[in-house]
Amino acid sequence: MNVNGFLDKNPFVRIILPFILGIILHRYADIPAWLSCMVLCSFLAFAIILSRDSEYKKRWMCGAMLFVSILALGSASATLSAPRNIAADTGGRKCEYRACVTNTPTQGEKACKADLRVEAVNIMGQWHDFDARIVATIMKDSAAVRLKAGQTIVFSSKIDSLDMPKNPFGFDYSQYLQLNGVQGSIFLNNGEWNLADDNVRGLKQHALNVRQLLVGQLEKAGLEGNELGLASTLVLGYKNNIDAEVKQAYMNAGAMHVLAVSGLHVGIVCTVLEFLMMLLGGNIAFRFKRIVIVVLLWAYAFITGLSPSVLRATVMFSFVEIGRLIKREMSIYNTLAASALLLLTINPDMLFKAGFQLSYAAVLGIVSLQPRIVSLVRVSRGNKPLRWLWELTAVSIAAQISTLPFCLYYFERTPVYFWMSNVIVSPGAGIMIGLTLLLFAASPFEVVAKAVGVVVTYAAKSMNGVVRAIANLPYSTIENTYISIFQAFMIGVVVLAALIWLMSHNGNWLLCSLTALLLFQLPFSISSIRNSSIQALCVYYSPRNSLAQFVDGSQSYWVKNAIGDSQRAGQMVKGGNIFWNTRWSETIDTDSTGNNGCMISQNGFFMFDSICGLIVDGNTHRFRMKKPMTIDYLIVSGNPQIRARQMPETLRFKNVIIDGSVPPWTVNEWVRRYPNSAIHNIRKQGAYIHRFVSVRK
């Protein structure tokens, strides 16, 4: 395959590449919109001038100008769509706002969460237009339980900016919200808000309410628990009914993709529709069939709540059907590039969402790799069941290879038995979708709907049981596979270059793939050299735990007190070890000594290399010190039995660290007690990390 020939046949691929580079450039360089627009206009004008010159040698210059122009267009679109700082707009003060509920509120035990689109603000008795998206936590009462998508509420509150991540590792919730267009957050107590208009507004909001009605139909048919959760998640994309334990099982089995309504589900629906259209006859009303399929695909997208993943897949399949409608065979690569360009033009931040990356990577892998994987094993055409099984396994392998860099980067784990689970789960998902849609069709007839509900329940139990069994197999996952964004990019280059080599048989691409594989190892070597001389004290943010880590090169010592959430404490220990690339870790308690001199005495004093300090926690009692002493650190954790005023006057500290487990009402007491010390409040400022020079030779 000739690369230039491939780009000539797929013009949207040629356009999407610089457009994506422009979006990435804006994200990391923060280029102002005026500069992007100026570059766009200038280089586009140069390209038009050069295009008039018919000299063949100058064609590359015109192409280069167009490349830079499209890159600038991507950067400009990302700049114009970037959300503003809503807290700065309101001066951080309490105001009265009018907002529309944009999603179905998620009901918790004590509160519910809802996304709001703020439309107006009341300033000195006058309503002014306002446009921002925020996430609201609303204390639960009878009114909050009845709240629906599309309704309008009025509330009085101060809108807070999104908090920056409190720890240097782990899931960045604020970045996730920003990528979804959220600009702030609020907390509303009972009485701080009221329903202004119960009429539902907005197409998506109507879709979400229709989805809630369909979830209700599943409940009426007798589905409950994880069976209800699986059916509503598989078909409708409603994830609130499924347990975390079931989600974890699907993740460990490598079948998590079936719980996110996306291309797989839309593809199954499209296949069913194609089959139904075939029953109408081969050549009768061909155009009518294509239009009906597109309309029904968008109807399915509507009942799933018009989620971004479904919209991506529906746009993709719609492009294919439109190509067939105009009787033009469209390249799948060109179709994918065109749909991606359309979605990124509407929302450039979608490029950085894991779902967008995974869905397009999976489809590209299946289209490019699956036929080649199938050809590796020859299966007789007469043996249709075995051939179908091998082709389905090849789909799973191809998707896993193409999404490998994203899975390693985002999920830090690799499922081992993905090929086994997908052979079972993919057909199972098709059966579940078909049965659930049949249940919806039979919902006007209660007896029939309940009978179908029994079958759906049995199918869901079987599917969940198989996935749990695969997830519980020995060595079902390879965990702690943390890689940097550079390493993820290198794995992507390895896969892409190897794929082009397989298609073109050009040895240069194989060399490129091997070079990227060598570069992938580079960060490990650098990290080993860098970490061999690192000594650091880290106190992490955790509202229910006290977590301090002493890093000594490739070794790590932890002092932890899991007050209320031992599972989260364990996840943070794992995250800290991955972040520092420590190969050996030990938990130390009072009156114990580590192998390399990390020591904590019975009364909480610690020594580690060149620093010393005191940990004051729930076990610390009053004590005396006769001689004056100044030491490096005071770490306050939990709810100490000793009060700040009871600390010895002779003891002074250079730094006072108040961790996230300290009750807010006692923080000020410790701050006032040590006015001359450097205070670090982890609850407000995030994790405390201090690297220091080792005194060891």
User: What pLDDT sits at residue 678?
Assistant: 92
Per-residue confidence (pLDDT) for residue 680, from 0 to 100: 94
Q: Which of the listed ranges 471-475, 478-482, 577-581, 599-603 does the model predict with the highest average pLDDT?
A: 471-475
Question: Of the CATH numbers 3.30.1660, 3.20.20, 2.40.50, 3.30.1120, which one belongs to the domain with range 86-201?
Answer: 2.40.50
Q: Report the pLDDT averaged over residues 541-566.
A: 77
Instruction: Write the CB contacts of 500 (distance below 8 Å, at least 6 apart in sequence).
Output: 1, 3, 506, 509
- What integer is the mean pLDDT of 74-90? 66
Q: Is the pLDDT of residue 603 over 50?
A: yes
State the Cα–Cα distance between residues 304 and 232, nearest whole angstrom. Answer: 9
pLDDT bucket at 654, cuts 50 / 70 / 90: very high
pLDDT band at 688 (very low <50, low <70, confident <90, very high): very high
CB 430 within 8 A of CB 436: no
CA atoms of 557 and 157, how far apart (whole Å): 43
Residue 267 has pLDDT above 70, yes or no: yes
- Between 38-42, 151-155, 449-453, the lowest mean confidence (pLDDT) is in 38-42
Measured in degrees and rounded to the nearest 5, phi and psi for residue 460 equal -65, -40
Of the pLDDT bands very low, low, confident and very high (cuts 50, 70, 90), residue 591 is very low
Lowest mean pLDDT among 194-203, 449-458, 647-656: 194-203
The larger pLDDT score, comparing residue 373 to residue 599, is at 373
pLDDT band at residue 679 under the 50/70/90 scheme: very high
Over residues 335-360, the pLDDT tens digits come to 888 888 888 888 888 888 877 888 78
Q: Is the pLDDT of residue 597 over 90?
A: no
Q: Stretch 568-586: mean pLDDT, rounded?
A: 76
Indicate if the pLDDT at residue 265 is higher than 70.
yes
Looking at residue 109, the DSSP 8-state letter turns out to be S
Long-range contacts of 178-181 (CB under 8 A, 24+ apart): 178/83, 178/349, 179/349, 179/350, 179/352, 179/353, 180/349, 180/353, 181/83, 181/133, 181/347, 181/349
What is the three-class DSSP state of 130?
Answer: strand
What is the pLDDT at residue 56?
Answer: 54
Q: How confident is the model at residue 658 (pLDDT cuts 50, 70, 90)?
A: very high
Q: What is the mean pLDDT of the chain?
A: 79
pLDDT top residue among 388 and 282: 388
Average pLDDT over residues 544-548: 80
Query: Is residue 545 pLDDT above 80, yes or no?
Result: no
Least confident of 244-253, 324-333, 434-443: 324-333
Are the C-beta atoms of 470 and 421 separated by less than 8 Å?
Answer: yes
Give the residue-averaged pLDDT of 477-503.
77
Instruction: Name beta bridge partners: 477.
Output: 415
Question: What is the reported pLDDT for 408?
Answer: 78
Structure tokens at 185: 């957050």
- Residue 595: both structure tokens together: 């192998």
Identify how many contiguous H helices and E strands the chain contains and give both numbers: 23, 21
Backbone φ/ψ region at 466: left (φ over 0), alpha (ψ -120 to 50), beta: alpha
Residue with tokens 């080599």, as numbered in its chain: 501
pLDDT at 27 over 90: no
Contacts of 343 (CB under 8 A, 6+ apart): 311, 312, 315, 350, 356
Is 88's pLDDT higher than 50? Answer: no
% of the chain exceeding 70 in pLDDT: 87
Residue type, 32: P
Q: What's the whole-number mean pLDDT along residues 148-158?
A: 87
What's the gap between Cα 361 and its chain centre? Answer: 15
- Read off the pLDDT of each residue in 297-324 and give the average, rounded to a whole number: 79
The residue among 388 and 451 whose pLDDT is bigger is 451
pLDDT for 697: 46
The H or E element containing residue 691 is strand 688-692
Of these ranges, 229-233, 378-382, 417-421, 556-560, the one predicted with the greatest mean pLDDT is 229-233
- Is the pLDDT assigned to residue 141 strictly greater than 90? no
Query: Is residue 693 scored above 70 in pLDDT?
Result: no
**140 pLDDT higher than 60:** yes
Residue 590, token pair as written in the block? 């009072």
Residue 531 has pLDDT above 80, yes or no: no
